[in-house]
Amino acid sequence: MTQKELSLLFSPDCYISEQVLLVSPANFYKLENRLIENSRIFLLVSNGSVNISLGNQSCEMKAPAYLDILDTMTLKMTNFSSDLRAWCLFITFEFACESLKNLRPGPLNRMTERQTIPIRIFSAQDNALIENQLCLLKDTLSTQTHYYRQELAQLYFKSFSLELGNIMFAQEKNVEQSASYISKQDLIILNFMKLVSTHFATEHQLDFYANALCISVKHLTRTVRKMTGKTPHTIICDEILGHALHMLDDDSIPISRIAEELHFADQASFCKFFKAQKKKSPMEYRRRNHTDLP
């Protein structure tokens, strides 16, 4: 299930459509045994334990612990303990971009460097601090009539991210200790994701990434599919699409310029790509966004 599909399980005071969904401890049971995919997830276990399957990896997550899950991974949670108290925050690329624009770079990307055992153990103080941030976001989402509900949700997500980043900085001295947990396959995924984030706009073909990693396209495809459940091509397309959507939200950017910046041969090629991904043209997407505005 995707974030959008999961939203249907919860009342409107838990989410802003296609932007953010916060599952609080009272509703967390609804996530048990559900296969979650194509979703950017922040998971906090404040009490008790839960078994998680992340891609092809499985382990038990015991409180107090935190897990940051990329949208390239699949997640399934089972065996909830009777005393489980946990939070699950889902965000879209667009919501994150708008909330965190102009934010100084931090160590949050460290989470992606521990693909085999990506769980962070928190102190009781850190856990209470992050849980408090999630409570603030929960209170904001529950006030549906607030005129600035969306702006406050972005503000509290930014606050959550800043507090989380500060905890990551505090744990920075322990980063090197995680090296022994990283397998060869993990390193391929990590380096592939770094390459995609840097070159997605200019390099759309798998040959470039395979050559940069000194492996064959076949080996790259097999490894990425095994570790993430997606093909390398899908991951590249998702990155291109995410940035295209972000630029389409700005009416001052012509579609021809978006096509050029994302290095498509021409506007027609970009429109063909976009329609294959979203089942609508860029102009249709832009018009619908205007229609959906209050």
Q: What percent of the chain has pLDDT over 70?
A: 87
Q: Among 157, 179, 201, give the residue marking a domain's end.
A: 179
More confident residue, 37 or 71: 37
How many domains does one find in the chain? 2
**CATH number of the structural domain spanning residue 58:** 2.60.120
Q: What pLDDT is attached to residue 268?
A: 95
Please name which of 117, 243, 267 lies closest in space to residue 179, comparing C-alpha atoms.
117
- Distance from C-alpha of 105 to C-alpha of 116, rounded to nearest angstrom: 24
Q: What percent of the chain has pLDDT over 90?
A: 56
> Mean of the pLDDT values across residues 273-287?
91
Rg, the chain, Cα only = 19
More confident residue, 2 or 168: 2
Q: Are residues 208 and 152 part of one domain?
A: no
Could you tell me if 34 and 75 are in contact, meaning their C-beta atoms sit under 8 angstroms apart?
no
Residue 113: is its pLDDT beyond 50? Answer: no
Q: Are residues 9 and 146 part of one domain?
A: yes
Q: Which domain holds residue 98?
A: 3-179
With tokens 């107090």, the residue in question is 64
Q: Using pLDDT thresholds of 50, 70 and 90, give the confidence band for residue 260.
A: very high
Max Cα distance, the chain (Å)? 57
Q: Which residues contact 94 (CB under 8 A, 6 or more apart)?
A: 18, 19, 242, 245, 246, 249
Q: pLDDT (tens digit, 9 = 90+) per residue, 11-70?
A: 999 999 989 999 999 999 999 999 998 888 999 999 999 999 887 788 899 999 998 887
Q: What pLDDT is attached to residue 289?
A: 66
- Give the Å distances, CA to CA, from 158 to 96, 98, 209: 8, 10, 32
Q: What pLDDT is attached to residue 262?
A: 95
Q: What pLDDT is attached to residue 233?
A: 94
Residue 102: is its pLDDT beyond 90? Answer: no
Q: Are residues 164 and 201 part of one domain?
A: no
Q: Among 154, 179, 204, give the residue marking a domain's end.
A: 179
Q: What's the chain's average pLDDT?
A: 85
Residue 100: is its pLDDT beyond 80? Answer: no
Q: Are residues 217 and 153 part of one domain?
A: no
Q: Using pLDDT thresholds of 50, 70 and 90, give the confidence band for residue 8.
A: very high
Residue 265 φ then ψ, to 5°:
-60, -40
Q: pLDDT (tens digit, 9 = 90+) per residue, 159-215?
A: 998 888 888 777 765 544 444 445 677 778 878 888 888 899 999 999 999 999 999
Q: Are strands 20-23 and 85-91 parallel, antiparallel or unpaired?
A: antiparallel
Q: Are strands 20-23 and 49-54 parallel, antiparallel or unpaired?
A: unpaired
Q: Are residues 191 and 167 part of one domain?
A: no
Q: Is 155 helix (H, G, I), strand (E, B) or coil?
A: helix
**CATH number of the structural domain spanning residue 190:** 1.10.10.60
Q: Are residues 283 and 164 part of one domain?
A: no
> Mean of the pLDDT values across residues 221-249?
89
Could you tell me if 65 and 119 are in contact, meaning their C-beta atoms sit under 8 angstroms apart?
yes
- Distance from C-alpha of 238 to C-alpha of 204, rounded to nearest angstrom: 11
Q: What pLDDT is attached to residue 226?
A: 83
Task: Compute the CA torsion angle 78, 80, 81, 86 (nearest 10 deg).
Answer: 130
Q: Are residues 142 and 21 part of one domain?
A: yes
- Give the Å distances, CA to CA, from 25 to 51, 134, 259: 16, 11, 43
Q: Which residues contact 140 (CB under 8 A, 6 or more apart)?
A: 146, 149, 152, 153, 156
Could you tell me if 200 and 244 are in contact, meaning their C-beta atoms sit under 8 angstroms apart?
no
Q: Are residues 144 and 188 part of one domain?
A: no
Query: Residue 264: CA atoms inside 13 Å, Cβ hemisphere, count?
Result: 19
